């Protein structure tokens, strides 16, 4: 695209948002900001400091600790990728764990935490030529984004995708449990009072239930080329 713009990619989990956003950013030479990774990094911090677990969540202590939490993206020359850093340490290998996945939506429902993250995201995306993916990018973070996409797929397919990813690092992964958690997370994300996950009125809806990543990538790129 000749004129660099802001591109927002929202949608449900395990639809390949991050993978597609990264590929598009590389293709278009845009800055990629993974908002989901930012929330995962915040969740990892909460876990490390025992603010949250399956049975416990002290949101107030986490809010009070915000001044000590610094999340950004730094370029890794060895793998040629931007990686999310938590307090100057790369946490890419830790934020995709099943434990983090099961707790991140609780973090995302807290208004004060979301306000802080929005400020950080606005700062990171203050210049055009940015692709950001998440659940409320086109509705809350960058409602004036030039092009918006909302991705979804059946929960059964998404659970299988997630299972295939998690089982590489965890022998405890169970397909049924992952499917149930995806359904619970969808419900939480769509019904939360602060910034619920809904498609922006002007977003392109992409159903990739029966599409793989290359097919979805080509469909999105075709739309972007028409917008140029």
Residue 203 has what DSSP assignment? P
Residue 54: phi, psi to the nearest 5? -60, -35
Lowest pLDDT segment from 62-71, 107-116, 197-206: 107-116
Residue 227: phi, psi to the nearest 5? -75, -15
How far apart are alpha carbons 134 and 127 in whole angstroms?
18
Is pLDDT at 1 greater than 60 in this prediction?
A: no
pLDDT confidence of residue 2: 59
- Segment of 45-54, 117-126, 130-139, 174-183 carrying the highest mean pLDDT: 45-54
pLDDT confidence of residue 228: 66
Domains and CATH numbers, the chain: 6-223 (3.40.50.300)
Helices (H), 97-209: 98-108, 111-124, 155-166, 175-191
Position with higher pLDDT, 113 vs 124: 113
Q: How large is the average pLDDT for residues 175-180?
A: 93
Work out the mean pLDDT of the chain and round it to a whole number. Answer: 91
Is pLDDT at 169 greater than 80 in this prediction?
A: no
pLDDT confidence of residue 183: 93
Q: How large is the average pLDDT for residues 82-104?
A: 92
186-195 pLDDT, tens digit per residue, is 998 899 887 8
pLDDT bracket for residue 74 (50, 70, 90) = confident
Q: How large is the average pLDDT for residues 79-101?
A: 90
43-69 pLDDT, tens digit per residue, is 999 999 999 999 999 999 999 999 999
pLDDT confidence of residue 217: 96
22-36 pLDDT, tens digit per residue, is 899 889 988 888 888
Residue 152's H or E segment, with its range, is strand 147-152
How far apart are alpha carbons 37 and 92 in whole angstroms?
8
**% of residues, the chain, pLDDT over 90:** 61
The CA-atom distances, in angstroms, between 106 and each of 32, 132, 144, 208 are 25, 21, 27, 26
Residue indicated by tokens 């210049």? 127
């Amino acid at each position: 695209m000749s004129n660099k713009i802001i591109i927002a990619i929202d949608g449900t989990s395990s639809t390949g948002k991050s993978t597609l956003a990264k590929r598009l950013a590389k293709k278009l030479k845009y800055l990629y900001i993974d908002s989901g990774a930012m929330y995962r990094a915040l969740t990892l911090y909460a876990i490390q400091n025992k603010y949250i677990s399956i049975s416990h969540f002290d949101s107030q202590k986490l809010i009070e600790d915000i001044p000590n939490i610094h999340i950004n993206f730094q370029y890794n020359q060895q793998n040629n990728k931007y990686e999310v850093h938590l307090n100057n340490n790369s946490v890419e290998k830790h934020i995709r764990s099943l434990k983090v996945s099961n707790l991140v939506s609780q973090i995302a429902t807290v208004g004060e935490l979301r306000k802080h993250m929005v400020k950080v995201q606005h700062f990171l995306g203050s210049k055009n030529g940015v692709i950001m993916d998440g659940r409320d990018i086109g509705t809350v973070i960058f409602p004036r984004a030039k092009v918006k996409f909302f991705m979804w797929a059946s929960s059964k397919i998404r659970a299988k995708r997630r299972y295939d990813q998690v089982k590489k690092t965890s022998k405890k992964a169970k397909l049924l449990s992952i499917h149930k958690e995806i359904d619970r997370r969808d419900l939480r994300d769509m019904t939360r009072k602060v910034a619920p996950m809904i498609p922006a009125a002007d977003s392109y809806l992409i159903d990739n239930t029966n599409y793989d990543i290359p097919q979805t990538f080509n469909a999105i790129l075709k739309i972007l080329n028409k917008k140029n």
